[in-house]
Amino acid sequence: MVLGLVACGEPVLRNAPKPSTPAVAGAAAAVAGAATLAAPDAQARRAAEANKPSDEKKPVKSGPSVPSDVLDRLDHTGSGSGSGSSAAAKQPQPQPPLDWKPEPVK
């Protein structure tokens, strides 16, 4: 029933009385105060339990398996196949000195 009222929205609830905002805030503060008086250390216990590690070990799922031919190709990197085996990719590129400045364009 409540879902129907909420789903219809504005037309159905247009004439419904609206509660006073200070009254609702006061009621919420009263409920929070009563909960605090009932169990003053409840929030601290909940926080301590949330931060405590669990004793049971969770199973770890393994990732996708790698076909053996891929591993064989990685073992033979000097064969010349693949994009990572070129001579330019193996040698680091020279870096300009730190005090280098480009020449001005005329």
Contact 82, 73 (CB under 8 A): yes
Nearest alpha-carbon partner for 81 in 65, 68, 70:
70
pLDDT, average across residues 49-75 = 79
CA–CA separation, 32 vs 34, rounded Å?
5
User: pLDDT tens, 64-99?
Assistant: 788 888 888 888 776 555 555 555 456 677 777 777
Q: Is the pLDDT of residue 21 over 90?
A: yes
Q: Is the pLDDT of residue 19 over 80?
A: yes
Give the pLDDT score at 24: 94
Q: Which range is least confidently modeled, 15-24, 39-48, 92-101?
A: 92-101
Tell me the pTM.
0.33
Nearest alpha-carbon partner for 1 in 16, 11, 12:
12
